[in-house]
Structure 1
Amino acid sequence: MKLTIEKLTQPSEQDRIDLGKIWQDVRYQSALKNEINDENVLFVARFNERLLAACWVKLSAENAIITDFMVREVTRRRGVGHYLLTQCLAAYPDITHWQAISLSAEESGYDIAHAFLAHHQFSASPQPDLYILNI
């Protein structure tokens, strides 16, 4: 089966279980409770009817903020995150200013998140944990 990226509008019970596996860390538990609407979009990567990665895209005018970007640990380093991120950006061609909120410097995955975002042309901002991409 093919890896697909989709906007999840009505998570099924299985989707909620999968999201719990993606966002296992306590700091992401609030992500499971966010409301899905036109300004708060949940993007997911699905393979074999299971979710492997997810992120929120918060939209406003010509700006968008990507938050809670996470790929299941067992699936990392296989291009899932790259595909999810590039499809999020492609879904909104009129957005010219993107931001991504990353892990804080104290978190163990900071270097990995920084390298991932830098690889995708995001630049670190003066504000900690915030990365910017202007298209």
Structure 2
Amino acid sequence: MRLSAFTVTESTPQLLIDITKLYRPFQHDEAEISNSFDKLLQDDNQTLFVAKFNARHIGGLIMQHDATTLFLSCIAVRDITQQRGVGKYLIQQAIEHAKSLQLETITVIKTTQVSAELTAFLIHQGFTEQDSALSFSC
């Protein structure tokens, strides 16, 4: 099977199972993950973007944008599929999305979810570190 990335527009039982596994390290309560996921799908200002391989959702991030910037948050790849290019593919697809919208930058605000490993990964992908964010110029 081929790795693909796409915007989620509706929930499926398998997607909910996979999203729960994907975000469990950040939020341990499965009911809370499910509730947050449902709210996300109903929010027109945010978009869930996922990577899928062999009928399983193995990576994801949340996108939202203003007139010039694409903001990324909740960047995650299943631990069993890390170091295989999934995160790189997701970021590349997000960059392409930002370019298609003619946005100038992509920003990841540093929060507790942005680990040192994620920061190093994003810098390796061409982001620059600033005080409270990581930025990529389109």
The alignment's TM-score, normalised by the length of structure 2, stands at: 0.83
Assess if the C-alpha contact under 8 Å between 2:9 and 2:41 holds in 1: no
Higher helix share: 2
2:127 pairs, out of 114, 117, 122, with 122
Partner amino acid for 2:98? Y
Aligned residue runs from structure 1 range 88-103, under 5 A: 88-93=94-99, 94-102=102-110
Q: Which runs of 4+ in 1 moved over 4 A?
A: none
Q: What does residue 80 of structure 1 align with?
A: 86
Alignment RMSD? 2.2
* Unaligned segments of structure 1, at least 5 residues: none
Identity fraction in percent:
25
**How many correspondences in the alignment?**
130
The corresponding residue for 1:10 is 10
Q: Is the 8 A contact 2:70 2:98 kept in 1?
A: no
Between the aligned partners of 1:14 and 1:35, the Cα distance in structure 2 is: 15
What's the counterpart of residue 132 of structure 1? 135
Equivalent residue, structure 2, for 1:45: 51
What does residue range 24-35 of structure 1 map to in structure 2 within 5 Å? 24=24, 25-26=26-27, 29=33, 32=37, 33-35=39-41
What is the TM-score of this pair, normalised by structure 1? 0.85
Structure 2 gap ranges (5+): none
